[in-house]
Amino acid sequence: MTLLHRVLFVAWRSPRTGGIHPVARLIEREQSPRFEFVHVQGARTAVDVGSTPFIEFPDLDRVYESDDLFPLFGNRLMARKRPEYPSFLARLALPQSLETPIPILARSAGRRETDKIEVFGFPSFDSQRHCFVYQFFLRGVRHVAGAEDLIARLADGERLAWRREPDNPVSPLAIVVDREGGGQLGWVPATLSEDLDVLVRGGSDLAVFVERRNPAPAPVHERLLCRLEASAVPGFLPFSGVDYQPIPVAAKPLDLDTAELVA
């Protein structure tokens, strides 16, 4: 597993505007201390629009380290001893042998009803086809009339349609996912919108596919796992903008290139 597959970002959604802001970064190391948490530059913008620092991490300028996963993240994982844990990993399309928590949190987004936080990780990179591969659960399914019925009729691997939604009340960068031939299904996560906009404007070809369907009783927010493939464009690296750079001077930038995305 490459370094980028051990990196997780934290985003905060403004309850007032609905806008989403990257606020922190978690890295899992192979050596002790195993985990490093830092705030990123986007946290300053978030504070300006109403966010407050996490109780667990009150200092924006400090590098936090621990050999144990911080509770902010650990509390968003399903306990392995629960009988439904194997089916949970299956819904995420992750192997049952998975030990590290980062891919689980990245795939599930670590969402809870009690806060405005979600987490996300880097895409994979397919070196043979020279494209980035994002996997995510489609958002807003519960808010689209008829979406669940349409999802039930999809086939694994089926190609889906996508379109921009510039009049979206939350973000002009929003991307809608439809069934080819008609019928809205939901939205691409807002955490990906900025990067996908950069890719599209750079000439990238985007294609969305059904990765896995999870019928009830699976939660509706895990109803449809999608795979988005985006051809690479010169100079692009995911989540490399100013907002994703660490605030503490003691935290080094990732300084990675496309080659290090290869699994």
pLDDT of 259 > 80? The answer is no
Q: Tell me which long-range contacts 247-251 makes (C-beta under 8 A, separation of at least 24).
A: 247/38, 247/39, 247/40, 247/41, 247/43, 247/44, 247/60, 247/61, 248/38, 248/39, 248/60, 248/61, 248/62, 248/63, 249/61, 250/63, 251/36, 251/38, 251/63
pTM exceeds 0.75: yes
Percentage, residues of the chain above pLDDT 90: 76
Pick the range with the lowest mean pLDDT from 12-16, 131-135, 158-162: 12-16
> Residue 31's Cα: distance from chain center in Å?
25
Question: Which residues, listed in sequence order, are joined to residue 139 by a DSSP beta bridge?
Answer: 187
Question: What is the Cα–Cα distance from 210 to 198, expressed in whole angstroms?
Answer: 23
- pLDDT tens readout for residues 84-118: 999 999 999 999 988 889 999 999 999 877 778 99
Question: What is the Cα–Cα distance from 115 to 259, expressed in whole angstroms?
Answer: 36
- Residue 224, classified by CB atoms within 10 Å of its CB into exposed (0-12), middle (13-18) or buried (19+), is buried
- pLDDT tens readout for residues 205-230: 999 999 999 999 999 999 999 999 99
Mean pLDDT of 1-11: 81
> Residue 158's Cα: distance from chain center in Å?
22
- pLDDT tens readout for residues 152-176: 999 999 999 999 999 999 899 999 9
According to CATH, where is 3.30.70.2330 located in the chain?
131-231
**Confidence band for 263, pLDDT divided at 50, 70 and 90:** very low
Mean pLDDT of 42-46: 94
> Residue 35's Cα: distance from chain center in Å?
19
CATH 3.30.70.2330 is right for the domain spanning 131-231 = yes
Cα separations in angstroms, 220 against 135, 202, 208, 241: 17, 34, 19, 32
Residue 3's pLDDT is what?
63
